[in-house]
Structure 1
């Protein structure tokens, strides 16, 4: 039903305003192409992570008792990631399945969205090293604060429910 709705809206837009309709179709085609290029490699990597890395290893390095090791690893994995933010969520689900501490998952998502290495390099060349490093130094504590606040605000029952749901993905 939703597919038909989108087609109808696009057709009406195209008939009412040729330029806007053409632009909407081009944007949709670009988004589809981007998703088709990004999603398959992410799922291949997820399969490898899920199959080759034992749960015990992930819990040791990123679990409840991982401490700074888990935080640093979450930042490194998130910062080294490629692709748009929607690619982080399936990875986060696999991390949950592997028993990674909730705050480390939130740090991973925050790093994926904010501290990517390619973005930092681009900012250094386009906006200057001072700007890029300043932004990074502000973002890192911000990500940590948000992750720990969210972890504290979410009840243990709800967190347990999320982890149970991740087991079936």
Structure 2
């Protein structure tokens, strides 16, 4: 029963999807199809990412990562976070295993928050799309304000959260 309780949110959503299908069949089938496509996308994206994260875990020494992304790394941490986020590909949920690995290896919370923010607003495909669709002025304003915001948020998070506290946090207790 305890295992079923962990998945109660999933069952509630599944039940809601079934109810929706009974109420409005066409909308329900579209929702089921969209859900299935999203699950398939995730199943094709996550295994290579998790393999990559496992390889990075073995290849990158903890001391090296602390030197370049630790709390005393200075501009190197910012630039490395910026580079990792800009060259990223894929949706944001792909970035979380990488961020968890960086946290485990000793990267500063500031740079992890900044990395996730850069992944969100300044990936190369997003930049190219914004340049072509909205113009240079909008894109530069959007990216500059976004980078500034996420860097400041990283500093604030670093003040409130301890690295060990985040590593010990168990998400399943909240569900």
TM-score greater than 0.5 by the shorter chain = yes
Matched, 1:122 2:129: yes
- Secondary structure of the 2:89 match is coil
Match of 1:29 in 2: 36
Match of 1:160 in 2: 164
Matched, 1:99 2:106: yes
Residue 153 of structure 1 deviates from its aligned partner by 2.6
Structure 1: runs of 5 or more not aligned: none
Residue 49 of structure 1 deviates from its aligned partner by 0.6
Pairs within 5 Å for 1:140-155: 140-154=147-161
Matched, 1:136 2:140: no
- Secondary structure of the 1:100 match is coil
RMSD: 1.8
- Runs of 4+ aligned structure 1 residues displaced above 3 Å come to 1-8, 163-166
Match of 1:74 in 2: 81
CA distance in 1, matches of 2:31, 2:169: 36
- Secondary structure of the 1:66 match is coil
Pairs aligned (count): 163
Matched, 1:41 2:45: no
Structure 2: runs of 5 or more not aligned: 171-175
Matched, 1:90 2:97: yes
Residue 62 of structure 1 deviates from its aligned partner by 0.8
What is the TM-score normalised by the length of structure 1?
0.88
CA distance in 2, matches of 1:121, 1:42: 24
